[in-house]
Amino acid sequence: MDTQQQQQQSSIQGAKVLMVGAGGIGCELLKTLALSGFQDIHIGAKVLMVGAGGIGCELLKTLALSGFQDIHIIDMDTIEVSNLNRQFLFRRSHVGQSKAKVARDAVLRFRPHINIRSYHANVKNPEFDVDFFKQFDVVLNGLDNLDARRHVNRLCLAADVPLVESGTTGFLGQVTVHVKGKTECYECQTKPAPKTYPVCTITSTPTKFVHCIVWAKDLLFAKLFGDKNQDNDLNVRANNAASSSKETEDVFERAEDEDIDQYGRKIYDHVFGYNIEAALSNEETWKNRRRPRPIYSKEVLPESMSQQNGSTQNCSATDDDSTVSAMPLLGLKNPQELWGLTQNSLVFIEALKLFFAKRKKEIGHLTFDKDDQLAVEFVTAAANIRAESFGIPLHSLFEAKGIAGNIVHAVATTNAIVAGLIVIEAIKVLKKDADKYRMTYCLEHPSRKMLLMPVEPFEPNPACYVCSKTPLVLEINTQKSKLRDLVDKIVTAKLGMNLPLIMHGASLLYEVGDDLDDIMVANYNANLEKSLSELPSPVINGSILTVEDLQQELSCKINVKHREEFDEEKEPEGMVLSGWTQSPATNGESASTSNDENEKAVDVTESSSGPEMASKKRRLSETQPENDKKETENVESDDDELMEIENPVMVSKKKKRVE
C-alpha cells in the first residue's frame, strides 16, 4: 500500500459518519461502510469468485468497495436480455458478451487501481485444477447449478482452501462457510435435485426436458397468447441487441389479413429456426456444449396443412373452451403416446390455429393452466420441438403435463444482501475467526422477529464420502448390469465425477483422459459393454471398487453387493447406491413429510437424468428449546438447492458443534 492509500485508509477509519435513513439505500450503505473498515485485514488477500451472474455482480461490486485488491472471476456464460433486470453491471449493449469480462470492466471503471482477472470458461475445465485453486486465500461461489458447486467443493478440499457458498431464490437466500477439517463440506448434507432453473439456461442452453417445458410455457405461450408487450429473449437474439430489426421485434404480431397457416409457420421458423441460428453465431457459448440444430417448418410440415388435416372449422364447438383439442383433428388419441418431430410440429400449428379460431377473444390475456387441454398440447409440442433441436429426449403429453413447473424469479435485493453476507464471512475466514463463522439464512417472513437467521456451522459429517472417505455400498445385478451402467448412472450422475478412473484391486477397468493411446481407449470402450461379472477382473458380490477423479483429487471405495431383482417403479435404475443419499436420522427423527409432494414432482421432472434423493434436511423451530414442536423454513438456493434450517439452539442438542 503506497503513502496516499495509507492516508486515505487512515482518514476512513477515523471518520465519524451520520446516516439518515435505513431503508433500501441505507441497508446497502451501512453494509458497505462497515465492510470498508476491514481493509487492513484483507488488503493482500487473493480471492477467486466463481460465477458472475445475479449474486456474482453484487459480490464483485462489494468486494471492490470493501478494499479487496486481487480478484479473479470465472464464468462460462454470456449476457442475455433477461439478465438485465437484476445483474446491474450489464447493459443492453453487452448482450452476447462474456459475463466475467464485462463485470470486470464495469468495476474497474470505479476501482481502476485494483487487479481483477476474468476467465470466460467453465470452472470444470482442466486448467482450473487443484494447483490453480491453491493460489487463492478463499473461494466465493455464486453458482446456479449443483454439479458445478460439487466440483468446486472438491477442488477446495483438495487444495485446502476455504469455500464460502451461497444461493438465492426469490426472497430466500443462504450463505454457508466450508473449511476443511473444521466445518462440514458442501456435500456433507446431500442436496435434492433442482426444482427451479436459471433463466439463461432456459432461454439459451437447455440440457433437460424440463428446461424446454418452462421455455414453452413461460416464454413462448406467454408471448403468443398473453401480454405481447412483455420483453423476453424470444425476439431479441442477436449478439448486438441494437442490430435487431423491426421485423424481428414484430414477428409475434399477426396482421388482420394474414393467413393463419402462414402465421403459424412464421412463428415456428422464428423460434425453432432463426433464433437457434442466431444463438449458434456466438461460438464461445458452444465451445464446451453440444450445438443445437435449427428446425424449419418446410423440413417437417406438408405444404398445405388444410389438405393434410382438414379445417379447424370442423372442430366441434363447446361451452367450455378448456376442452378444445387439436389431437382429434390429427387422429391422436393416446396422451401417453410419444409423438415424433412431425407429429409435434402438426400439433403445434393446429393448436395455434385453434386458439385464433375458437378462443380469439382470450388472446392477450391467457396464462398457462395445466387443466387447459389446448394449452397443454401447445406447450408439449413446442417443448418437444425445442428438445429435438437440442438433442434432448422427447416426452409424451402425459409426461409433459406432469413436468410443467414454475420459475422463482430472482430478486435483486436478496442477491445484494447475500453478497454482503459472503464478504462478511470471507473476512472472518481470512482473520481465521473460526468461532465466529456463521451459516446465515435470509427468510421471506420474520422468524422470532428476524429476517436473517445465523446458525453456527456443523462439524464434518463422518458419513460423507467426499470429505470423510466413508465407503459406499452399491446393490446391483453384477451379471446383467454393464460397466457402462455403473459409469453413467453412478460414477457420473450420482458421484459427479468428470474424469473417472475405476479400479478393482490392481486391475484398471476404466479411465478417461486425453493422454490415453488408441489401444487403451479401445480396451476401456470394450469393457463398457461387458457385464460386471465378465470384466477382465470380474466384479461380483463382495468386490470392492476404487473410483477416483484425478482432476478433483477425489477417491472413494464402493462395496458391491449382488442383487437379483429390483422394483421397476421404486428402483427404475436397476441399482441402489447407499451412503451418499441421506445422513443418518438424529434422535429417531426422519425427514419432514411436508415436502413429499414436492419431492415426487422433482422425481418426475428429473426422471430422465437420475435425480438425487433429498437428504434429511435441517429445520428451524419457531419455539423455545424445551418445546419439541417444529416448523420448517424452505430455502431454495439459486435454482438448485432446497434446505431446511434447524433452530440454532435445538441443533446443539443433536449435533456436535465446531469447536
Active site residue ranges: 200
Return the HEC string of 220-278: HHHHHHCCCCCCCCCCCCCCCHHHCCHHHHCCCCCCCCCCHHHHHHHHHHHHHHHHHHH
> Residue 4 and residue 533: Cα distance in Å, rounded?
72
Find, among 300, 281, 280, 282, the residue nearest to 291 by Cα: 280
Burial class from Cβ neighbours inside 10 Å (0-12, 13-18, 19+) for residue 317 reads exposed
Find, among 392, 388, 554, 401, the residue nearest to 470 by Cα: 554
> Residue 291 and residue 283: Cα distance in Å, rounded?
10
Please give the single-letter amino acid code of residue 395.
H
Question: If residue 503 lies in a helix (H) or strand (E), which one and from where to where?
Answer: strand 500-504
The cell 472413494 sits on which residue?
Answer: 556
The cell 409423438 sits on which residue?
Answer: 339
> Residue 241 and residue 238: Cα distance in Å, rounded?
6
Is the dihedral angle over the CA atoms 505, 506, 512, 518 positive or is it negative?
A: negative
Partner residues linked to 642 by β-bridges: 636
Packing angle of the helix pair 341-358, 260-269 (nearest 10 deg): 130
Q: Are 329 and 315 in contact (CB under 8 A)?
A: yes
> Residue 116 and residue 68: Cα distance in Å, rounded?
10
Give Dmax (Cα) for the chain: 85
Q: How many CA atoms lie within 13 A of 443 on its CB side?
A: 19
DSSP string, 268-310: HHIIIIIHHHHHHT-GGGGTTSPPP----HHHHS-S-HHHHH-
Strands 439-447 and 70-74: unpaired
Strands 500-504 and 634-637: unpaired
Rg of the chain over CA atoms, in angstroms? 27
Query: What one-character DSSP code corresponds to residue 386?
Result: H
Residues in contact with 608: Cβ distance below 8 Å, sequence separation at least 6, in sequence order: 208, 209, 393
> Residue 133 and residue 150: Cα distance in Å, rounded?
15
Packing angle of the helix pair 54-65, 99-108 (nearest 10 deg): 30
